[in-house]
Amino acid sequence: MLEVRELRKLFGDFVAVDGVTLSLPKGGSLAVVGESGSGKTTTARMIAGLEVPSAGRIVVAGHERRRARPRSRERRARSRQIQMVFQDPYASLDRRQRVGDAVAEAVRLNRSRPADTLRARVAELLDVVGLDDRQARSLPRALSGGQRQRVAIARALAAEPQVLILDEAIAALDVSIQAQILGLLAHIRATTGTALLFITHDLGAVRHISEDVLVMRAGRVVEHGSVASVLDDPQEAYTRRLIESIPQPGWKPRRRTCEPVV
């Protein structure tokens, strides 16, 4: 479904992404992990078409993308292949637009439907993500953070994409809401066959969403393999440090004592 070969991105003289290669089968799930500044989000944005690669190949469903900025028709076709859900759903939603209207707009834009079936399709998408008619009539400010993220997912699914990219999509949510969203994504993947590219710094969530994991550092891939092999038997010191940074049950931050200033 998705093949990326030797992807590279320069911002002036700064190398943000350097030779990233990955693949994602239909219905598969790949987590890309690393600390802030590792290049994982820039990689995701190039795959989604939001950034133009400096070098490399991106092949989606057998079709290679040109590195030039796409025309309007090509952008529309790309949006039907790949959709992206961002970390802050409140920033990606129109605060003056009701939830149902936002999802309906995405349906009309990506998948032309007769007016009499549009409402049914919107209701179906909202039901998939666990939202009802009352929430469909609400503005984003009336919803919780988890509900807003569900709206963002429903809007992305309106395009019926082959690949769904989630860029730190659960990072700002409470732990209980994170678990709900992860369960929702697993359900969507199982029922629609949509492949998931999960961008995160949270290794604790990786086991619940992906079979494979790719570890990035300073724009490069340092380790890549199955979740079990990489997380249970990491080969790189950087990966081991990431794993060691995961809070364990019962963990409490150490209280620092300050020496008096003389």
**Nearest Cα to Cα of residue 243 among 199, 203, 200:** 203
- Please name each of the domains of the chain with its CATH number: 2-244 (3.40.50.300)
CA terminus-to-terminus distance, the chain:
65
DSSP letter assigned to residue 97: S
Rg (the chain; Cα; Å): 20
Q: Where are the beta strands (DSSP E) in the chain?
A: 2-11, 14-24, 29-33, 55-60, 63-64, 82-85, 163-167, 195-200, 212-217, 220-226
* pLDDT score recorded for residue 246: 72
Q: How distant, in Å, are the alpha carbons of 65, 70, 77, 99, 109 from that of 73?
A: 13, 8, 6, 26, 12
One digit per residue, the tens of pLDDT, for the chain of length 262 reads 899 999 999 999 999 999 999 999 999 999 999 999 999 999 999 999 899 999 999 999 888 887 666 666 667 777 778 999 998 888 889 999 999 999 999 998 877 777 778 989 999 999 999 999 999 999 999 999 899 999 999 999 999 999 999 998 888 788 888 888 889 899 989 988 899 999 998 888 898 889 999 999 999 999 999 999 999 999 999 999 998 887 665 544 444 444 444 3
Look up residue 146 and give its two tokens.
């988890």
For residue 237, count other CB atoms closer than 10 A to its CB.
9
What is the rounded distance in angstroms from the CA atom of residue 125 to the CA atom of residue 159? Answer: 11
What pLDDT, on a 0 to 100 scale, did the predictor assign at position 211?
A: 92
Phi, psi torsion values for 201, nearest 5 degrees: -105, 0
Q: What is the pLDDT of residue 68?
A: 60
Stated as kind and residue range, the H or E segment containing 232 is helix 227-232
